[in-house]
Structure 1
């Protein structure tokens, strides 16, 4: 998806100065057995980003006034073509400060949700990603960033309380 229109308008006023924005990160899980009789292994939905080639979780910026869980489901569908149901708030953290290729700077309040797969065939559904795949949670690509790995761990943790960094 292109840069949200509200950010385009903000950037006209502030240029490339840092923005603090609300974002969502989606940990979409499904159980999968590759062979009959084999025990099921949790798999997570990953996207390969077009800007840096890394494998990450689907994520994005909330629109003004958008409910976080609604925005999370929207991002998953827009990026991967997958319908998913939000099952829990897994945690809240911050991302590292980012500098985009055009010089824009931003940092995000990262609202991390656990979701379960509902339907759809995973495919690239936007211009932000090069590839989409399901990956066993115990065999993540080496270039999956640490904060995305942490989000997956938080979503897999069955304790009722969301996680946060203290």
Structure 2
């Protein structure tokens, strides 16, 4: 996974100590289909995820990450869920915890493909036949599949 430069700069100052970051999950829908990517780091199928850059609006980050990771142009339709991950410890010892903002996005154009090396596959799945997901990812997707409504907390 490509680590943003601002995170590398922070790590140079704080080492592997816990770092609180804002992340996004982009659940892109196309009719009855959901875009999923297979992560290169652990082989898990997930929606597109990423880190919000400093000063970037989180909805814009969801759109950007979708294009960067899967080659899909999409439009945000609503905030679906606000969550907090557990502490993540990476292989190099870095510790990070994320406030995650899950967005529902509507497909506009493009054919899914692993566009930036962070994923090995990208494709549409029928919403009723998604690949195996972690409990947390299943909650994120479930919240975003509702076309309307308030965000879950």
Same fold (TM over 0.5): yes
- Supply the RMSD in Å over aligned alpha carbons: 1.1
Aligned to 2:126: 136
Aligned to 2:134: 145
Structure showing greater radius of gyration is 1
Question: What TM-score results when the alignment is normalised by the length of structure 1?
Answer: 0.88
Aligned to 2:152: 163
Aligned to 1:34: none
Count of matched residue pairs? 153
Matched, 1:62 2:47: no
Question: What TM-score results when the alignment is normalised by the length of structure 2?
Answer: 0.96
Aligned to 1:21: 21
Q: Which stretches of structure 1, 4 residues or more, deviate above 6 A after TM superposition?
A: none
Question: Within 2, Cα distance between the matches of 1:78 and 1:106?
Answer: 22
> Which residue of 49, 65, 71 corresponds with 2:61?
71
Q: State the 1:159 CA deviation.
A: 4.3
Q: Which runs of 5+ in 2 are unaligned?
A: none
Q: State the 1:155 CA deviation.
A: 1.0
Q: State the 1:63 CA deviation.
A: 0.4
Q: Give the secondary structure class of the aligned counterpart of 1:66.
A: coil
Residue by residue, what CA displacement relative to the aligned partner does 1:76-122 show, whole Å, maximum 9, x if unpaired? 00000000000001010112221112221111000010000000010
